[in-house]
Chains A and B, each alone.
Chain A
Amino acid sequence: MLAPGDVGQRAWIEARPWRVAAARQETSDTVTLDLTPSGAFAFLPGQFNMLSVPGVGEVPISISGDPADDGHVLHTIRDVGAVTRALCALRAGQRAGVRGPYGTDWPLAAAAGGDLLIIAGGIGLPPLRPALYQALAQRDRFGRVILLYGARTPDDLLFPAELARWRARSDVDVEVTVDTADRNWRGNVGVVPNLVDRVLFDPRAATAFVVGPEIMMRFTVRALLAAGVADDRVYLSMERNMQCAVALCGHCQLGPFLICRDGPVFRYRRLDRWLGIREL
């Protein structure tokens, strides 16, 4: 008979307490926690952990750091509720419960040989950043590497120092836009989908990874397809209410898919018929 705590049969719900090495305030409502894994840990770009604060709750958070750096597992968290607020309030030395990693990853291997477009809206950049790190670490496997990123206002842009460093590189194209700005902003104002036409790339062998609010993703996909990118080379990261992360609780369903198990990264072609159905 199986009992909780059996060796090799750790219950799915059990989390390990990881130490917060650093908490960095990115914007007014977003914090990056640098967590130190309590044992061996490895993840693939696009995967997420379940982070918890005992007595408050547990939420899925994409891992936003460099997969090659296994001593620092970064999670960029936006304060939108009780649990994320508690996580954003953690300070160095405190602990967060962690279990994972879960979910499907960005298919970088499949993208090799062509141009790679990484397209992020808002808090969609953190789940894509590990893919960009990995692509830059194997830079010669790709054609152009292009980052398109949009946020609400300049104050909401994440990782501005890194954006500047990427922009300064000659082997990465970076286009950033905001929905609205005042005069202090000298960059683009407009929506992310319209950036697709601004950049030079070869759609025939291009792969795109897109994350953002669903409306932004739909319009961006439309722009990509109109530009000639194949619908089986566009990948999205989807989100639904998620509680167990292990295909048991039934919440993260999106039609026939369980986002925790079949996603969060999906090929657009697979999702196409489901995305257009309201309240699915």
Chain B
Amino acid sequence: MPPIPEPVLRGHPFFAGLDPSHLDLLARHASGVAFTDGAFLFREGQPAETFFLINGGSVALEVAAPGRGPVVIQTIGDGEVAGFSWLLEPHRWEFDGRAIGAVAAVRVDGAGLRAKCTADPLLGYELMRRFARLATRRLQATRMQILDVYGHAGTR
């Protein structure tokens, strides 16, 4: 069941502290969407013009390689945000995003927002800050995963 965007946006911790006028703007660029189990929200390499606030269910970030099958590198759950490639060139999704179970989300039109950010640098700064934090967290998590901390003999 697709959610109504406005209450999701207003209540979402990711946008906490954002000016009400900016929240209004976001709401005008947002729509509620729903995905069935296994459906793709986005595909690697495709133009990234949107981002998603997940409002139910879980999204798997996957990468597929010949002979390996799809590997899930991260899941993004209820209350989290998927997608920051909309904000920076080359605006292409880096991974596949696939619904695990039924997923409800608020999809925000990133392309439209980009234009508004250029016009209103404060909005741009506020969004950039939040997405930079998101990217940093993902980076830290990815680094931990690379370290393969459980993989070495003798780890607890």
**Chains A and B directly touch (beta carbon < 8 Å):** yes
Interface residues of A (CB under 8 A from B): 78, 80-81, 121-124, 127, 150-152, 156, 177, 179-183, 185-191, 193-194, 198, 211-213, 215-216, 219, 237, 239
Query: Quick one: which of B73, B101, B141, B145 contacts A186, CB cutoff 8 A?
Result: B101
Chain A residues contacting B74 (CB-CB under 8 Å) are: 189-190
Separation of A150 and B75 alpha carbons in the complex (Å): 13
> In the complex, what's the smallest C-beta–C-beta distance from A54 to chain B, in angstroms?
22
Q: Is the CB of B73 within 8 A of A180?
A: yes
Q: Is the CB of B156 within 8 A of A183?
A: no
> In the complex, what's the smallest C-beta–C-beta distance from A16 to chain B, in angstroms?
26
Q: Mark B58-99, 1 if CB is under 8 A from A, else 0.
A: 101110000001111111010100000000000000000000
Q: Is the CB of A215 within 8 A of B149?
A: yes
Closest to B149 in A: A213
> In the complex, what's the smallest C-beta–C-beta distance from B34 to chain A, in angstroms?
18
Separation of A78 and B154 alpha carbons in the complex (Å): 7
Given the interface contacts A188-B58, A190-B141, does A122 sit within 8 Å of B148 by beta carbon? no
State which residues 114-156 of B face A: CB under 8 Å: 137, 140-141, 144-145, 147-156
Q: Is the CB of B137 within 8 A of A213?
A: no
Given the interface contacts A194-B137, A194-B141, does A216 sit within 8 Å of B72 by beta carbon? no
Q: Which 5 A-B pairs have CB atoms at the shortest separation, nearest pair first?
A: A122-B150, A213-B149, A152-B150, A80-B154, A80-B153
Separation of A127 and B60 alpha carbons in the complex (Å): 31
Separation of A219 and B71 alpha carbons in the complex (Å): 24
Q: Can you list 18 pairs linking A and B with CB atoms under 8 Å apart?
A: A121-B156, A122-B155, A151-B150, A152-B150, A179-B145, A180-B73, A182-B69, A182-B71, A183-B69, A185-B72, A188-B75, A188-B77, A189-B74, A191-B145, A194-B141, A198-B77, A198-B79, A213-B149
Q: Is the CB of B151 within 8 A of A152?
A: yes
Chain B residues contacting A123 (CB-CB under 8 Å) are: 150, 155-156
- Total residues of chain B contacting the partner, CB 8 A: 30
Closest to B140 in A: A219
Chain B residues contacting A191 (CB-CB under 8 Å) are: 140-141, 144-145
Chain A residues contacting B60 (CB-CB under 8 Å) are: 183, 189
Q: Mark B25-66, 1 if CB is under 8 A from A, else 0.
A: 000000000000000000000000000000000101110000
Query: Quick one: which of A81, A152, A198, A211 contacts B156, CB cutoff 8 A?
Result: A211
Given the interface contacts A180-B145, A183-B70, does A213 sit within 8 Å of B75 by beta carbon? no
Query: Quick one: which of A185, A190, A216 contacts B149, CB cutoff 8 A?
Result: A216
Separation of A102 and B54 alpha carbons in the complex (Å): 47
Closest to A238 in B: B156
Closest to A126 in B: B156
Chain A residues contacting B149 (CB-CB under 8 Å) are: 121-122, 212-213, 215-216
* Residue of B58, B140, B141, B144 with highest tally of chain A CB at under 10 A: B144
Chain B residues contacting A78 (CB-CB under 8 Å) are: 154-155
Separation of A113 and B59 alpha carbons in the complex (Å): 36
Separation of A81 and B153 alpha carbons in the complex (Å): 8
Chain A residues contacting B152 (CB-CB under 8 Å) are: 213
Q: Is the CB of A187 within 8 A of B75?
A: yes
Chain B residues contacting A152 (CB-CB under 8 Å) are: 148, 150-151
Separation of A141 and B52 alpha carbons in the complex (Å): 40
Q: Is the CB of A81 within 8 A of B72?
A: no
B23 at the interface (CB under 8 A from A): no
Query: Quick one: which of B69, B72, B154, B156 contacts A212, CB cutoff 8 A?
Result: B156
> In the complex, what's the smallest C-beta–C-beta distance from B10 to chain A, in angstroms?
19
Separation of A92 and B100 alpha carbons in the complex (Å): 42
